[in-house]
Amino acid sequence: TTAAAQRCSSSGVPYIAVVLVTSWGNSRLVHYGAAIVVSLMTIIGFFIPYPTGEAFWIGLENRFIALFSIAVTAVLADLAARRTAQLRDREARLRAVLDCTVDAILTFDAGGIVRSWNRAALGMFGLTNDDLTEQSILHLMPELPFDPQGAEFVGSSGLVIPAVICREQATTAARGDGLRFPVELSVCQVLIDEGPHFVALL
């Protein structure tokens, strides 16, 4: 009886993995269709073999728990898949806007390492995506008017970095071939989970 009860209590649990696997797709029909299928399998499995005595009631109780778990897993998996799809769409739209902008846009962290860029930045600096990966902003902007690792401006102002660090400030940038050229630089600070990052518009 104890072995039968254990079999009844656990037979529905592995099917939750099936629902999680279906979350890789973006179709709500697939998510809930899988949940219905594994729920039916859980119910049918209750009668193979037919439980009797104490195993019947233990198995019945655990079937309700398993079905509830499958339903909750399906809902959460569908919600996660839809939110992931929304984030991907939002990222694609933002990337399209950035790549259509004629100004160069770079982001870099407090260590001065470039983290992202748009198409105009590649053309302005004469570099490729591989060239900019893990590149230091100081190689591109040797006369950067502030210290990314500090909390103050470099110079005599001594002001704590605000959200807008500089706006349309004249400075010099350097192309990949070493050629220096004048630019107008605007920089904002953005706080994210990874720490302070900076957005530079040239």
Segment 158-172 shows an average pLDDT of: 71
Determine the pLDDT at residue 5: 45
Three-class secondary structure of residue 124 per DSSP? helix
In the chain, pLDDT over 70 holds for what percent of residues?
A: 80
DSSP state of 83: H
The 10s digit of each residue's pLDDT in 88-124 is 888 888 888 878 888 999 999 888 899 989 999 999 9
Its pTM stands at 0.57
Burial (CB count within 10 angstroms: exposed 0-12, middle 13-18, buried 19+), residue 7: middle
Q: Which of 159, 139, 142 is nearest to 150 (CA)?
A: 159
Contact by Cβ (8 Å): 197, 107: yes
Q: Residue 151 pLDDT > 60, yes or no? A: no
What does the CA dihedral 47, 50, 56, 60 come to, rounded to 10 degrees? 0
The 10s digit of each residue's pLDDT in 1-44 is 445 444 444 455 566 666 666 666 667 777 777 788 878 877 77
